[in-house]
Amino acid sequence: MAPSRDPIEELFETSESLLALLDQEQEVSLRIEVENEFRKALALSAASAFESVVKRLIEGFCVRVSEDNAELVSLVRNKILDRQYHTLFSWDANNANTFFKLFGETFKDAAQKDVEQDEQLKKGIKAFLEVGRLRNDLVHNDYATFTFNQTTSEVVALYRDGRLFTDYLQRKLVSAR
DSSP letters spanning 65-82: HTTS-HHHHHHIIIIIIH
Other Cβ atoms closer than 10 A to 131: 27
Whole-number pLDDT of residue 176: 78
Q: Encode pLDDT of 102-141 as tens digits.
A: 999 999 999 999 999 999 999 999 999 999 999 999 999 9
Whole-number pLDDT of residue 147: 82
Q: What is the pLDDT along the chain (177 residues), one digit of tens a residue?
A: 555 789 999 999 999 999 999 999 899 999 999 999 999 999 999 999 999 999 999 999 999 999 989 999 999 999 889 989 999 999 999 999 999 999 999 999 999 999 999 999 999 999 999 999 999 999 999 999 888 889 999 999 999 999 999 999 999 998 877
Q: Encode pLDDT of 63-75 as tens digits.
A: 999 998 999 999 9
Rounded CA gap, 28 and 22, in Å? Answer: 7
Whole-number pLDDT of residue 1: 56
Whole-number pLDDT of residue 2: 54
Rounded CA gap, 90 and 148, in Å? Answer: 21
Q: Is residue 16 a contact partner of residue 35, using CB atoms and an 8 Å limit?
A: no
Rounded CA gap, 51 and 39, in Å? Answer: 18
CA nearest to 132, candidates 163, 90, 173, 98: 90
State how far Cα 31 lies from the chain centre.
26
Q: Is residue 19 a contact partner of residue 152, using CB atoms and an 8 Å limit?
A: yes
Quote the Cα angle for 111-112-118, to 5°.
90
Taking the whole predicted model, whether its pTM rises above 0.85 is answered as yes
